[in-house]
Structures are given as structure tokens and as C-alpha cells.
Structure 1
Amino acid sequence: MDDFLIMPLLMDKEYDAYLVIGSLLISFLTSFLAIAFASFIVWHKKNTSQWWLLGAAINMGLGIWAMHFVGMLALHLDIAVAFEPIRTVVSALFAIAASYAAFWVVLSADFETYKQRQLYGTFVLGSGVASMHYLGMDAMQMFPKISYDPFLFVLSLIIAYVASYIGLNLFIRSANQIQHVLFSRENLISSVVIGIAVTGMHYTGMAAANFDYNSYCTVLEEGLQYGSLSFLVIISVVVVLLFSFILLAYEQHVEIQEHEQNRMMLRKVTQEVDKRTAELQRQTTMNERLLETMDAIVVVLDRDGVIQQFNLAAQFTTGYCISEVKGKQVWDVMVPREQVEEVKSVFSRLVSGMFPNKHQNDWITKQGSQVTIDWHNSAVLDDEGEVIYVIGTGLDVTQQLQDQEALQISAVAFETQEAMVVTDGEGLILKVNKAFEDITGYSLDEVEGKSMNILKSGRHGEIFYKKLWKSVDEKGYWQGEIWNRRKNGDVFPEWLRITRVLGKDNSVINYIGNFSDISQRKKIEQELEFLAFYDAVTELPNRRLFTDRLEQAIYKHQTSRENLAVMFVDLDNFKQINDTFGHAFGDKLLIEFSRVITKIMPGSVTISRFGGDEFVLLFSGLSENKDTAAFQSEQMAEVLLNSITSGLNIGEQNVYISSSIGITVSDCVDDTVSTLLMQADTAMYQAKEMGKNTFRFYSESIGESMAERFKMEVALRNDLSASTPSSSPFFVVYQPQYNAKKQVVGAEALVRWSSAELGFISPAKFIPVAEEVGLIDELGMFVVNRVLHDISNMASLFEKSTLDHVSINLSIKQLTNPTLTSRLLNAFQHEGVSPDKVRFEFTESVFLDNALNPKALFSEMSEIGFTFALDDFGTGFSSLSYLKDLPISELKIDKTFVDGIPNEESDTTICSATISMAQKLGLQLVAEGVETEGQFDWLVAHGCNLLQGYLMSQPIEYKEFVSLLEKSHVD
């Protein structure tokens, strides 16, 4: 049987034309009502906008739903059909919800752009229409189920989305118009488009539906029949339309009333404006009359400086009539020549912010004389705030200024910067000057006729005043420092001079007092005194005040038998914090630290800042027993250390910092200020060497160690600076390096020091000192020059013997010197030595210094021809990345690993792995510290290239090394 014969026969679709037209009208009408409701939301921003939005959604949703089921009723099928009630009602709710959501999205301000609202609204409305339609179709519950033509199904969705997009776009345009017209073209077209969208989607969807001839409706008995559905649709549409039209009619009625109220209000405003315009005109006329009768000069200028108004007072003062100046620029008529450019400049940059203002300038009258006018200027502005006119109101103050000048000249002797008071012979005040009033706060009216006792401070007794007046009587004057009281009660110091004035009969007729307030001078003196004895940052006692107090404490304790303690506190890593966050932050840290220790220490403790991050504390009156006194000091040190373990709060930042503390306890019998400070400082450095964040007591052994170190530093400096290469106490020895056949193939150059003062000193002692005090670079270059000179002298042995290279150690201080490469190159060129004859050794510790970029440095040196060896491999952090990135040609196994060969499993494992890694990387390997045949044999058996140690040879001087090479050549 053909495939076509087994396909179900499909029913043909016929529609009732009247019902189709009815469905279209329902869709158009309800869409328009929905748009009307939504438009009122936009236009009037009602407080009940949610209810208007719901009304729009109900109109749109029920309209879509009603159109759908009217369209369903218009379809003639050959089978009886009913609709499942729940799906039918849910389909209506779908349509209402989709309509509500679409209008909410379009009208919402929650979306950033207009396009977003339109696209989201289109998606919601189109999806709602499609969902309602196909859920309504599913309410028929056909068996077999309704099938859909895919093309028409997709087309129905496209129609729904496209038409929804166009309809919502037209609605938004209409809603945003300035003129709010409900029956606008956009609203009508929008409702038609949305109606077409719904009906077009419906009938396209119906066209896509295929009904089987043998199908039947499964809810025929209990479902909604055509009659019931028709009644439900009619009731729904009629109720919605009737209620909507009533609401719209009411809203239009309210709109008309509001429009009428606005019209009446506009009429009243217009009448008020006309009334005020007439009043303004009368006021303007009155002002013009008043302007002409004013004694003040009034001049009106436009923004170009052209005179527009010139009243009678201005004409009288200048001698110009208005016809002579009107229309002319003011600087062409009356402004003095030297002020013309200044006035022009002012008018060229007129802005409203310059007004109102006051100023005084000179004018030249018609007769050629000069008058001074005191001006008060204001401006007339346009609607945009730009200056149109400048109105200047002025007074001729020429005579007034002349009078003032005369008065000032006559009063200059009295009105000085010093306060002056004149009394009669009885000491009653007659006159005071302005300075007196400023200093004391008393006016002339308040003190006139009163005694000078009004200023007494109460700080001086009767004896003081008796001596004062005795001097006046005998010498005719008295001067000196005295304390008086101001009107507000403040006591202040002054420098006073009292002079006696005698009459013709030698009787006293007046006393004249001159005085000046010296409060500021006294304050400066106090500040200078404070700065002399206190730290400016922390306000703690400084070194000067501390040493004075310590000296007094020593003198006191020499008789009391009590002990005292000096505690030297240094903040760890303070320089790093200061360099990282800045000096201002560092000062705040010091202030906070001083606040903390001041808070936790007893009041009897003297806390001082010596400078930088160094604080010194003095504990007096400790126990007579020295051990007990030490215990008391130890407790204070622990309290101090614990007080900063949680960090210091600097602003909003918590800074973790520790301190190193040195303590010395003394009974003051033999100690002095300098010895105690030295001892505490020495103990503090010992605490830093112990790992910081701890305290140490001074002992004789520490003092001896620091003294020995200091002597070594001095000797080191002297020997490096004073000696010549030929007479230097420094010399180089060579540690030979052997291959598996025990042939000398290399050597490590090692520096030695034989001091004339200290004797022979181990490198383990003097090299760390040289690094710490900054002499290692100088010492290192000495070794380089010495070795290159030796290589130059035994150049022939490189050809005749198995010698391949000599190794020289470079320290971290040398590697961080930016001139290292150039200095090395100069040294090699000077001695005529090829770079391939020297191998530079460095340790892994160089990578811990952030200031060093090893890749850049070694790359630069490698290009010249230098080769490198990594010393003490495995004892540091042993990152393999630098073996890959850096031009290293040799690794050296540290003696600590070689010592355990061949018995220690861990040492043999490490050495074996290192040898294997070096072989795979193509690196030479040197084993250091080979002292037994067992070690030698094991290393050779496992492939170690080179070996050095006391088994073969100790470090030897140059001559012995040359002899060794010559002997091996002969052998």
C-alpha cells in the first residue's frame, strides 16, 4: 500500500465571514482601549497607574482571547467540538498576563535604553499571543491530536512578533508626543496593527492546524459547548468594553475640567502680569525722576563702556552736560590716561559674578582737575545671565580724603603700632590709642577717668610696683617686662615704658605709657626651648634632655645604691616602611609607637627619641639587687614587645612591626652616660643579629665582640686604602680543581688577609664585615685584578698544561653595582686576558635581592664571553628556572652534601640527582670538599666532572700553583 494511503485524511476548513469580521472588530476595539489606558499612564503619571496598566492588560488580553474564540467559532468543522474549561480560562489569563507584562516593560524605567524596552515588550506580547492561541487550540482536546504545518506554524509566530513590534513602536511614539490626543493617528494605527497581529497570527495558526476526519473531541460531554463559549465571549467583551468606555468617558470629563481650570488660571496670570507691567512702568518713571534729583552720581554704561545715562549730580561734579558724554566711551572722556587700559580690561571681561562690587577711582573733570569717586556698582542682566548694563552709583570723596589725610598726619605720632596711654598727674586715664584698644580690649569710653589698676594681672606684688614707681620718680622713666590683664580676663606679657611729664613748676602733669604685647615673642621662646629639648615629631624628650636626665640619675644612684636601666629600642625594618609609604607615613608610625609606649610605661620612666627609629628609655629606682633589677627590666621589655604584636593602626591601615631592644643595668658606680648608652646600643645590635623582635642584655662578651668587630672594620679600611698591590696584606691563594684522572684543569681563587695589627684573619670573619660596611666591591676588584695579573704571567701554562680556567667569586654587592661589567672588561683588557680563561662564581642568595635583575646582567656579561658557575647548589632555594634562563656552565656541589658520601643515603641521593641533572643540562659539575678516596671514587664513578678538596690539594699560593702546573706538565 502506498504511503499516501496510510496518511490520515484532513478536513477542509471553512469560515463564517461575519464571525471573521466580528473577530477583527473585537481585536481592533479592545486593542485601542488597551492603548488608551496605557496612554493615560504615560500622560498623567497617575498614582493609580498600576490599575490603569491592569485595565490596559485586561482589555488587550480579553480582546485577544475573545477574538481567538470568535475566530474558532467562525471555523466550520464536520465534527462536534467543545472546549476544556480550565485550559480555556488559563488561555485568557495567559493573554492578560502577556499584555500586562508587555505594557509594563514598554512603560518601565528599569531598562537602560528605548530599544531594550521595545524588544522585551515585543517578545513578551508576541509570545503571549502565540501561547494563548495554541493553548486555546489545545483546549479542544482532539484525538488524534491536531497536527500543525511547520511552515505556517513558524509564520504565525513571525507575524505575532513583527506585528507586536510595529504596534508597540507606534504606541511608544504616540505616548511620548507633547500633545496628548487619545484618538491620534498613531493610536489608531497602533490598535489596527496589534489587531492585525492577533488576528493574522490566529488565522495563520488555524491554517497551520490539520484536523483528522476520524478525530473526535475528548471533552465533548463535560467541556464548554459552542453556545456556552459564545455566551462567555459575548459577556466578557461587553463587560470589558462597557466598563472601559465608562472609565475613558470619566477620564475625558476630568480632563476637560482640568483644562478649563488651567484656562481660568492662565487668564488670571495674564491679568496679573498686565497689572504688574503697568506698576513697573509707573515705577520706572518715578525712578527716572528720582535719579535726576539724587545727590549721588549715577552713570549707566553698556557692556562696551558707552555712557547711556548721566544724572544731574554727575554733570555737576564733572562739569560735563549729558549731551557731551552720552554715546561716548567713558575712558575717552573722564578716565585718567594711566588708568585707561585697566578700565578697558575690566569691560572686556565683564561677567555677572563681578557684581555687585565697590571700588574707588579718579575722574578728570571738564576743567582738568581730578576728583576721587567712591563707586558702588551693580549690573543689569539678560535672560541668559549676560551683563547688559553697568550702573555706577558714586560719591565725590575728594574733600573727605583730604581731611582724612590731614587727620592721619596729625595722629601719626599717637597712633603707632605700640599701645599708648596718657594719664593725668594722679594716674587717671585721659586718652588711649587704637593699639591700646586692640591689645587690651578696652575702648577709650571704658577706661577714661579710671586708674591703670584696671589692667593689673595680680601676678606682681606690692614690692614690684614700689620699685617701679621709685624708678619713675628718680629717673623720670621705667621700662621692663610686666604681666597685665585684658578685658576678657586673659593675662598677657608686655614690654612697658612709663615716662613722667613735668609742668612749669616741676610738678607731674602727665604720665605716658608705651607698651607692646610680647606674647608671640614669649611663645616663640617657649617653642625654641621645646625644640631644644624635645623631639619635633613625637614630642618626646630628645637626646640632649635624655642625657641630662641620665646624668642626674647616675649622680643620684651613686648614693642610693639602687640600680637603673637604660633600654635602647630600634624599630625593625623601619627604613623599608619609610621608603615604601613615604616619610609622612613614617612620621605617623613613630608618633603612634611613641603613644603606645608612653601609655604602657610607668610615669617615672623617661622615654626619648634619639632620632630616626631609635628610642631610649631610662628606668630609675630599680632594685638594689642587680639580678632583680635585670628581671624588672626584662618584664618591661616583654611588655613593650607584646604591645605591638597586633600591629599599629596608622589611619585605616594596620602596620605590623617589631623592635629590637638592648638593655644595660647599672649601679652607677663606675659607669658614665656615654658608657651606658654605648652598652645599650651594643646589646640592641646583638638583638638584631639574634633575629630581631627580641631583647638582649649587655654583657662583657658582647662588648668585646663588638669591639673586635670595630677593630676589624678599621683595619680593613686602612689596609684596603693604604696598601699597594705589591705590598698589600691581602693575597690570593688557589684551590686546584681536578678531573677524574687527577689532572689540574682549574682552580678557585680565594682571598686571604694577614693584618699587621690583627694577624691572620679567616675569610669567614672579614668577608661578612666587608659586605656589611660596603667594602666588598673594593675587595672583590682587588681579587679580580690580582688573579688577572697572575693569569697573564702564566699564560703559557694554559697551552702546555691541562689548565682550562680560574674561578673568581662575585658577591651580591658586586653584582648589584651597575658599573660591574664595564670595570671587568677594562680589567681584562688591561691585563690582556681572554674572558674564556675566567669563570665567575656566585651563590643562590643573589636571587633574593630584588634590586638585581640577574637575567639582564648575566646576558650582558655572557655576550662579552664570560662564563658562570653556580656555587653551593642546593643550599639555597634552588629554583631550577635560572638554570634554564641564565648562561650557567657549571654547578658546584656544596661540601655539606659531599661529607656524607658514600655512607649517608640522603647525601648520595642528592649528589646523584644533581650529577644526573647536570649531565642532562650539559653542565660541568664540581664537587667541593673532597677529603677521602671513598668520596673521590664514588663521585668519579657517578660521572662528576671536576673535584676539589684537601684530598688532592689545599689552597696554595701563586708560586706553588705554578710549580704544580709545571710538574703536571712534565709528568
Structure 2
Amino acid sequence: MIIHLVQNAALLLSLCWLQSLNHRFWDRNYSAAQLMSGLLFGFTCVIGMMIALEPESGLIFDARSVVLSMAALFGGALVSGIAGLIAAAYRLWLGGAGMWGGLGDIVLSVLLGLGYRYFHLRGKVGRGPGALLIFGLLVHILMLLLFNLQPISNAAWQASVSMLLVMPVATVWLGWMLADIARRGRDERELNIAATAFETRQGMLVTDPSSRILRCNQAFSAITGYSAEEVVGKKASLLSSGRHDAAFYQAMWQQLAATDRWQGEVWNRRKNGEIYPEWLSISAVRNPRGQLTHYVASMDDITERKAAEARIQHLALFDALTGLANRSLLLDRVQYAMNTGARSGQYAALLFLDLDGFKSINDLHGHHTGDQLLRLVAERLGDATFASDTVARLGADEFVVMIESLAGEHQEAATQAEQFAKELLITLGKFYQLDALKLHIGASIGVTLFNDDSSTASELIQQAELAIHQAKAAGKNTMRFFDPAMQKAVSARLRLEEDIRRGLQAEEFIPYLQPQLDEAGRVVGAEVLARWQHPRRGLLGPGVFIEVAEQAGLVEQVDFQMLRQACHRLAVWRQSPATASLSLAVNLSARLLYQADFVDKLLQLLELSGADPYRLKLELTETMLLDDMPAAVARMHQLREHGIRFSIDDIGTGYSSLAYLQTLPLDQLKIDQSFVRELPENGNSLAIIRAICALAGSLQLEVIAEGVETEEQHKQLQDIGCRHFQGYLFGRPMPLDEFERRVTMAPEEEPQRALSCPGRSELHARAGEASTERDVKPCC
């Protein structure tokens, strides 16, 4: 009996040892490990039956119930199923009187083990020694009852009772051994995971509670330059850079003690002495009793990130081309200077610089040369200022210099700023050597002074910019101080601009017509002139709003509204014989002509209104055609194909040449009023008009003279071949209904036209009624 127990104990030990090897070997292959476990438990049962206690023939007492129940408990259905099949197959092969009881033993052990596993996984029972002992007793009591169901001898009965005393203990022992194997397997896996995680791209460091280094990974060595052998056993303070004071480390340790965690940016020192920034995270490790056992630190070298942040910050605050401050940094420094001036009472000055003729250099020599020149200008500005001054580039060729600590008295500060500005003009006016190219370029400077925060930083820059416009208007290469009247003018212009936008939305812009007559004195058409029927200010002439509309990019909307109303009027006139032959001339801005969809929009407007395109004449100025002559010619030909006619306005005042007049699909030349006004006294004007008429005759073009104010001018124009006329002599710009009444009245009812021009002072007073241009023309 003792020998039998020793043999079974050795068998179970062997099973445990083999199971341990199985877990290690097949750790990464769960299915293979399960299969091998099933085979190990099965063949253990077979060996156990080979050395079993056999009180009578065919009746076998062994530890298979212990092995199979534990196989089910720890391995599950697959392991216990394989083991049970192997054991059952061998028991069937052995046969004998107790075969069926032995098979029942196998099945019952597996089922009971699976039941135990089921309840254990759901947390209903544990796997401690007590629970295993109870389970072993239960299994073997049931086995004993199973044996009692079959006739056995007294010796067999005594043997089964002896097994009842031994097998529960064996169950506890085997269960404890298998649980330990499973626990060690889990620990090894977790250690492997931890070791793998430890060797990450982050530097890792493990210290004891006194910050003595116990372990580090390869990433730590790569970051710091220290090998593990050089740092293990030493204090982590060997990495200290000296940049952080005692208060920094005290705050870090206080947070670690309070929360067991700390993270932040620190500067450490590599083995070679280089100081570098890193992001450090420290966690405290405590045992189950809450005692501090270790510190685990992870670190990232953020040198590249800090460099990238510095580059981004530099781009955000400095100009990429010149390295000077940009608008954002300038605004910050101006605000600081305002605050400083408010406390000290000392003035500071903003000097807004704009290079004169820079665009020509760009166009002539290319943007690469322009960029080189800007860098040289930035260098000269930097050399001419102190370190406390600020030099900024706002864009293109615009620079701003801010000088501080001027005098506390306004006039003295202005004198200092003026002297500095003159020195800058001299410095910037010297020749620039760009490789083999020698360039000269001047600058205009606008200056504004400040010593408090009564204006915002943006407003101060705007003031200096307004002053520079005055400097350029004064002839360039000079300087001007900001005058509050400039701001008042700008504010008025902005208010007018907004009012124009509102007026366009409300369609307050209306056409006035100035008659155009032939040599027989018959009205053959009219020029459409824009007027603004303002709800509060009354009727406004173009001199009030055209310049602002052009600067704001609104003049094309005004022109198109005039076109739309002209087309509508032509459609109405088409229905009456008295007006069907009349034409309307509409001024066209360059912006409108060069719009990509202008041709389509105009043709659609003609179609929708029902106007006769042959009665619509578009007046263009010769200078606007020079911007893009091929595009202008192409658009004019498209419109000419549909019957629209063209007139060149202000002929003789621009760059007229026979070459481009031959290219353009023109119908009419319009003599500018500046020549007509000088008749009959000025012989040069007469010669120019005679040349224009001769040119028109050779090109088979119609000629019309504008600004005719006296009978002498009218007669002289007729004598030299002009056949169409427009001016105050024949009628001022008038509303539509007044023009139509004049056209439709009987000839004998037509009033005598004025024989003399109104006085010059009166004409200047009526500048708002300028007729032949959108701009002011006082003598028409």
C-alpha cells in the first residue's frame, strides 16, 4: 500500500513537472498547450492504471479521479475531454469486472471537475486548500457509492475506503501544485510583458525610495549617454543640469508624496555635458500594505520638439524673408511702449516707411532681386537703430520702425523723430549693390508720436500709414507727421463708402442724360451720367462719390446699374417713333470691362430688357485699354458682333496712336473738353482737334466734341470737320423725363439754346453736375 502511494505521488509530481514545461514551451500557442495538457493528463491516468492497486481481478484502484477532476478544473472541457477519452479507451482495453465502474469513475470525475470550474469562474467557490479538500471528499464519496452498486469483496471494500482517506488529500496537493504552475505561468507572462514594455522608445528608470537607480532601459542610455553599468546604484541626481532651483525639486517631491505622480518639463544633463530638455513622468510604486517601494520614471527627449516650437514661434512673430518683427510682434511692442509712456511721460514714435518705386524694380529685375533688396533694406534699418528699438516688416516694401525714450515734451520729441527720419532717408537713399547690379531707391516716411494709451496699437500704425500717403503726395523721398485731420478725412471716406454700398443696394443711383446733337442741331442721343439721389443729402454729382467708389472697388457696380437703366430706357424708346433712333452712351470702367463674365452679363441684360444693341454705345478711356489690350480687343469684338458700338473718351489726353486705333473696333472718337475749352484763342488746341478730325476721317470714324459752351467754339468745330457736339451750350445733364420732353416737343416749341457759357465761378460751384466724365469736369 505504501509503495503504491509513493508510486502515485511520484506520478503526480511528474505530471506537475511536465505540465510546467508544457506551459513554458507552448506559452505563445494556447491551442497546442491545451492539446498537450490533455495528452499529459490522459497518459498520466494510463500510467496510474498500470501501477494501480488491484484487490481482485478486473477491479482497479488508482488516482485517475484526482487527475481527471483537476484536468477539468484547471484545463477545461478540451483538456479533460482528451484526458478522459484516453483514460476510458485504456480502461475499456483492460476490461474486467470493474470496467463499467471504472468508466463511470472517469465520466463522473470529468463532470464534477467541469462543474467545479463553472462555479469557480463565476466567483461562487474558491480554489483554496479547504475548497479543494471538500471537493475531493465529494468526488470520492460519490466514487465509493458508485463502487457499492456492484458486488465487490471485503478486501476491495477495505481498499476503496482507504482510497477515500488518501485521494482527497491528493486532490488538494495536485490542485495546489497546478494552481502554482498556472500562477507562475501568469507571472512569467506578465514579467515578459513588463520587460517588453520597459524597453520602449521612452527612456525608463526604476529607483528605490531614496532615488538610487536600480534599472534603466536602452532608450535611457540612448538619451543620456550613460550605460546601465554606469548608473545602477547611483543617485538619479547625477542627471541634474543645475538649471532648476531647490524650490522646483521641492514642489516636485511634494506633489509625488501627495498624489504618487508627477510630470513636467525638465532640463537634464547628458554624459557629455550637454544640457537638453525632456518631458519627465514619475510614478510611485507601493506594496499591498501601502509602503513605498520604488519610483518608475519615463522620459522623452524633446529637443527636436522644442526646436520646432521655436521655429514656429519665430515664424509667428518674425518676417520669414528679412528676420524682422512682423505685425503681431510689432503690435505687442507698441502696446508695451504705450504702457511705458503712460507711466514715464516720455514719447515714442512710429515711423512707417514705404520704398519708392519698388514695384518697378520687381517688374524690371524680378522678384529675386526685389527680395535681395528688401533684405539689404532690413540690414540698413537694423544698423541705424538701437537694440531697444523695434524694426518690423509689415509686407511687400512696407517697414515700421518704433523708437522709444524720446523727450517728454511734444515739440522736442517731434524734432528728435524728424531728425531720425531724415537720417533714415539718407541711409536708405544710398546705392544698393546686388551682384553686378547697382540700384538706387528712395523711401517715404510717415511719423506719429504717442506717450499714452489713448489710441490702440493698430490705430497708431494706421495713423503712421496715413501720414505716409501725405509724404508720397508731397513728392516722395520725404516725411510727414500724422495730422488728426487725416484721420477725420479717412473716417469720412469710410462712412461714405458704407453709404455707397447702402445706396447701391437701395438702387439710389440714377441716370442723368446730357444731349448729343448732330450738325443740324438735332438730338441724336445722350451720354448717361451717374447721379446719386441720396435720401438725406439730395441729388449728388459724381465728384462726391466716384473717387471713393473706385478706391472701394464699387465703381463697376455703379456702372452696371447705369447700363441696366440705359438698356431699360432704350427698350422703352424703341416703342416710340420719336425716340426709336436715339442712342445712349454709357461710361465703362476698366474693372467692369475686364471682368470675365462681363460680355455674357451685358448680352443677357440686352436680351432681357429688349433694348436695341445698335443704340447702345460704350465709352472707354484710352488709358484703361493699355492694361490688357488683347483682352480688351477680344471683348470689344464679341460685343461689336451683336451691334454694340464703342467710343474712345478723352481722345488726345492719353497715349493715342494710329496703331492701336487701327486695332480697336471703334465707331467714334470723343474730343476732350480740355482742348475745346481753349477755343478759339489757343492755336495749339485747334491744331490738335484738327489732327483728331483728320485721323477720324482717315479711319472712317465719327467725331464728337464734348464741353462745347459757346457759339464760337461750336462754329469753329464745324469749320474743321466736327459733326457731333455735347456741352452746356446745348443742355446740361438732366433727368430722364426732362430729356424725353425736350426730344418729343414740336420743333417750334424748342427753346433757344444758351449763347454763352455760365461764369467760371458758377461752373466751379456746380462741379457736382460734371457731365462728360464720372469725375469732376467743371466746364462741361
For 1:406-426, what per-residue CA distance to the aligned partner results, in whole angstroms no more than 9, with x for missing partners?
Answer: 997684254333334455677
8 Å contact from structure 1 (residues 715, 755) kept in 2: no
Deviation for aligned residue 1:827: 2.6
Residues 923 and 429 from structure 1, CA distance in 2 versus in 1: closer, same or farther, beyond 3 angstroms?
A: closer
Query: Which residue of the partner structure matches residue 838 of structure 1?
Result: 616
Higher mean displacement: 413-422 or 460-469:
460-469
Corresponding letter in the other structure for 1:664: T
Higher mean displacement: 877-886 or 602-611:
602-611
Residues 753 and 492 from structure 1, CA distance in 2 versus in 1: closer, same or farther, beyond 3 angstroms?
A: same
Matching residue within 690, 696, 707 for 1:929: 707
Whole-angstrom distance in 1 between the partners of 2:561 and 2:295: 86
Whole-angstrom distance in 2 between the partners of 1:499 and 1:934: 104
Query: Which residue of the partner structure matches residue 161 of structure 2?
Result: none
Corresponding letter in the other structure for 1:786: Q
Deviation for aligned residue 1:733: 1.6
Q: How does 1:342-381 map to 2 (within 5 A)?
A: none
Higher mean displacement: 915-924 or 857-866:
915-924
Residues 648 and 766 from structure 1, CA distance in 2 versus in 1: closer, same or farther, beyond 3 angstroms?
A: farther
Deviation for aligned residue 1:580: 10
Q: How does 1:784-795 map to 2 (within 5 A)?
A: 784-795=563-574
Query: Which residue of the partner structure matches residue 540 of structure 1?
Result: 324
Deviation for aligned residue 1:805: 2.8
Query: Which residue of the partner structure matches residue 346 of structure 2?
Result: 562
User: Relative contact order, CA 8 A, sep 6+: which one is greater?
Assistant: 2
8 Å contact from structure 1 (residues 743, 968) kept in 2: no
Corresponding letter in the other structure for 2:585: S
Query: Which residue of the partner structure matches residue 626 of structure 2?
Result: 848
Query: Which residue of the partner structure matches residue 811 of structure 1?
Result: 589
Query: Which residue of the partner structure matches residue 943 of structure 1?
Result: 721
Residues 476 and 776 from structure 1, CA distance in 2 versus in 1: closer, same or farther, beyond 3 angstroms?
A: closer
1:868 equivalenced with 2:646 (yes/no): yes
For 1:449-476, what per-residue CA distance to the aligned partner results, in whole angstroms no more than 9, with x for missing partners?
Answer: 5444432322344565566667778887
Deviation for aligned residue 1:706: 1.6
Residues 781 and 691 from structure 1, CA distance in 2 versus in 1: closer, same or farther, beyond 3 angstroms?
A: farther
Whole-angstrom distance in 2 between the partners of 1:520 and 1:458: 21
Query: Which residue of the partner structure matches residue 859 of structure 1?
Result: 637
For 1:613-644, what per-residue CA distance to the aligned partner results, in whole angstroms no more than 9, with x for missing partners?
Answer: 65433222223343443343344444545555
Whole-angstrom distance in 2 between the partners of 1:666 and 1:878: 50
**Other structure's SS at 1:955 match:** coil
Higher mean displacement: 617-626 or 937-946:
617-626
Deviation for aligned residue 1:960: 1.8
1:666 equivalenced with 2:450 (yes/no): yes
8 Å contact from structure 2 (residues 623, 654) kept in 1: yes
Whole-angstrom distance in 2 between the partners of 1:686 and 1:698: 9
Query: Which residue of the partner structure matches residue 604 of structure 1?
Result: 388
**Other structure's SS at 2:595 match:** coil
Corresponding letter in the other structure for 2:332: D
Whole-angstrom distance in 2 between the partners of 1:882 and 1:477: 82
Query: Which residue of the partner structure matches residue 633 of structure 1?
Result: 417
Query: Which residue of the partner structure matches residue 763 of structure 1?
Result: 542
Matching residue within 439, 442, 454 for 2:223: 439
Residues 717 and 852 from structure 1, CA distance in 2 versus in 1: closer, same or farther, beyond 3 angstroms?
A: farther
For 1:798-819, what per-residue CA distance to the aligned partner results, in whole angstroms no more than 9, with x for missing partners?
Answer: x458965332222212221233
Deviation for aligned residue 1:435: 1.9
Query: Which residue of the partner structure matches residue 705 of structure 1?
Result: 489
Residues 848 and 483 from structure 1, CA distance in 2 versus in 1: closer, same or farther, beyond 3 angstroms?
A: same
Corresponding letter in the other structure for 1:743: R
Residues 816 and 651 from structure 1, CA distance in 2 versus in 1: closer, same or farther, beyond 3 angstroms?
A: farther
Query: Which residue of the partner structure matches residue 527 of structure 2?
Result: 748
Q: How does 1:308-323 map to 2 (within 5 A)?
A: none
Whole-angstrom distance in 1 between the partners of 2:254 and 2:597: 81
8 Å contact from structure 1 (residues 566, 619) kept in 2: yes
Matching residue within 667, 679, 683 for 1:889: 667
Whole-angstrom distance in 2 between the partners of 1:503 and 1:792: 98
Matching residue within 490, 504, 509 for 2:274: 490
For 1:163-214, what per-residue CA distance to the aligned partner results, in whole angstroms no more than 9, with x for missing partners?
Answer: xxxxxxxxxxxxxxxxxxxxxxxxxxxxxxxxxxxxxxxxxxxxxxxxxxxx
8 Å contact from structure 1 (residues 801, 969) kept in 2: no
Whole-angstrom distance in 1 between the partners of 2:469 and 2:330: 21
For 1:721-750, what per-residue CA distance to the aligned partner results, in whole angstroms no more than 9, with x for missing partners?
Answer: 233xxxxx2221221123334332332221
Residues 632 and 879 from structure 1, CA distance in 2 versus in 1: closer, same or farther, beyond 3 angstroms?
A: farther
Query: Which residue of the partner structure matches residue 456 of structure 1?
Result: 240
Deviation for aligned residue 1:705: 2.1
Corresponding letter in the other structure for 1:906: N
Query: Which residue of the partner structure matches residue 967 of structure 1?
Result: 745
8 Å contact from structure 1 (residues 801, 968) kept in 2: no
Query: Which residue of the partner structure matches residue 902 of structure 1?
Result: 680
1:912 equivalenced with 2:702 (yes/no): no
Deviation for aligned residue 1:487: 0.9
8 Å contact from structure 1 (residues 471, 478) kept in 2: yes
For 1:294-338, what per-residue CA distance to the aligned partner results, in whole angstroms no more than 9, with x for missing partners?
Answer: xxxxxxxxxxxxxxxxxxxxxxxxxxxxxxxxxxxxxxxxxxxxx
Residues 504 and 649 from structure 1, CA distance in 2 versus in 1: closer, same or farther, beyond 3 angstroms?
A: same
Q: How does 1:39-50 map to 2 (within 5 A)?
A: none
Deviation for aligned residue 1:951: 2.0
Whole-angstrom distance in 1 between the partners of 2:342 and 2:595: 53
Whole-angstrom distance in 2 between the partners of 1:470 and 1:699: 60
Query: Which residue of the partner structure matches residue 517 of structure 2?
Result: 738
Whole-angstrom distance in 1 between the partners of 2:729 and 2:584: 20
Corresponding letter in the other structure for 2:199: E
Whole-angstrom distance in 2 between the partners of 1:471 and 1:406: 29
Query: Which residue of the partner structure matches residue 334 of structure 2?
Result: 550
8 Å contact from structure 2 (residues 570, 612) kept in 1: no
Deviation for aligned residue 1:719: 0.9
Whole-angstrom distance in 1 between the partners of 2:574 and 2:748: 17
Whole-angstrom distance in 2 between the partners of 1:772 and 1:749: 22
Whole-angstrom distance in 1 between the partners of 2:604 and 2:626: 28
**Other structure's SS at 2:553 match:** coil
8 Å contact from structure 1 (residues 749, 808) kept in 2: yes
8 Å contact from structure 1 (residues 794, 962) kept in 2: no
- Where in structure 2 are there 5+ consecutive unaligned residues? 1-188, 750-780
8 Å contact from structure 1 (residues 479, 495) kept in 2: yes
Deviation for aligned residue 1:720: 0.8
Whole-angstrom distance in 2 between the partners of 1:502 and 1:946: 106
Whole-angstrom distance in 2 between the partners of 1:746 and 1:869: 13
Residues 731 and 439 from structure 1, CA distance in 2 versus in 1: closer, same or farther, beyond 3 angstroms?
A: same
Deviation for aligned residue 1:438: 1.0
8 Å contact from structure 1 (residues 592, 650) kept in 2: no
Residues 494 and 843 from structure 1, CA distance in 2 versus in 1: closer, same or farther, beyond 3 angstroms?
A: closer
8 Å contact from structure 1 (residues 715, 757) kept in 2: no
Deviation for aligned residue 1:844: 1.0
Higher mean displacement: 903-912 or 491-500:
491-500
1:880 equivalenced with 2:658 (yes/no): yes
Corresponding letter in the other structure for 1:926: I
Deviation for aligned residue 1:936: 1.8
Residues 866 and 693 from structure 1, CA distance in 2 versus in 1: closer, same or farther, beyond 3 angstroms?
A: farther
8 Å contact from structure 2 (residues 429, 443) kept in 1: no
8 Å contact from structure 2 (residues 356, 476) kept in 1: yes
1:955 equivalenced with 2:733 (yes/no): yes
8 Å contact from structure 2 (residues 432, 440) kept in 1: yes
Residues 939 and 438 from structure 1, CA distance in 2 versus in 1: closer, same or farther, beyond 3 angstroms?
A: same
**Other structure's SS at 2:641 match:** helix
Q: What is the TM-score with the length of structure 2 in the denominator?
A: 0.63
For 1:763-787, what per-residue CA distance to the aligned partner results, in whole angstroms no more than 9, with x for missing partners?
Answer: 1342233233222222212212222
